[in-house]
Amino acid sequence: MGYYVKVERDVQLYVEDLNRKSKKPILFIHGWPANHKMFEYQFNQLPRYGYRCIGIDCRGFGYSDKPWKGYTYNRLADDIRIVIDSLKLENVTLVGHSTGGAIAIRYMSRYYGDKVSKLVLLAAAAPSLIQRPYFPYGLKKEDVTDIIEKTYKDRPKMLSDFKDMFFYQKISEPFADWFFQLGIQAASWSTAAVAETWLKEEQLFFDLGTIAIPTLILHGIHDQVCHFPLAEAQKQGIKNSVLIPFENSGHGLFWEERNKVNQELFRFIG
């Protein structure tokens, strides 16, 4: 079932909500530049085992409204808060992939983890997607500025190039086209604006230390987008956390090792 939740006067977010009667809600925040459909291989399985799966299209992406502004982690976390309140959710397992993981971490810090009982970080873009003088991991700053420039110049080509670094395992041409279409549904300005946030955002280093709930970190060792040392930094920064490496995945572990991801979610959520 899909519907819209109003988060600002002129902004509504699309929400896919499966198995609404369940009292085991899992709220999924997608990565850049996709939308909630990237979790198709989780939504195929989890509801049949009694879980309520809620997928949000962040502002600017998928079926949600695409305003010109509002793409900071603070604003995106505020959107998540409004959805949680609107749906009257309690004891949520919050799952974030890539940039969605960064948004989830900001939510935990900004709202003191309210309404969330467990956190799952899938290839999360934290504590920093890019290299910094005090954090020599992640992408080079110029790699991200190149993505932003290509977004404005030839966004389909940029998305195609990004797809090539996203997966470690070989994907079929139909799957590649499906994944490409997830990105093309976004607005060009929101695609670029979130990438700009990667460059500016440094507070996640602090945010990690505020998280006190059980946290599961799942990360592909071959990840070329959010390099594996980011996961190790998350493990070090979040006291009550467990890191599980995925030996046969890049950034797209939600598909590349989908059965293992689902099994780890079953085990962690209970």
Active site residues: 98, 223, 251
- 154 close to 129: Cβ distance less than 8 angstroms: no
Nearest to 117 by CA among 194, 260, 216: 216
Kindly provide the b/e burial profile for residues 233-262, where b requires at least 16 CB atoms within 10 angstroms of the residue's own CB. bbbebbeebebeebeebbbbbbbbbbebbb
CB-based contact 5:13 (threshold 8 Å): yes
Q: Which two tokens stand for residue 103?
A: 């948004």
Nearest to 257 by CA among 244, 270, 241: 244
Q: For residue 210, what are its two tokens?
A: 């505020």
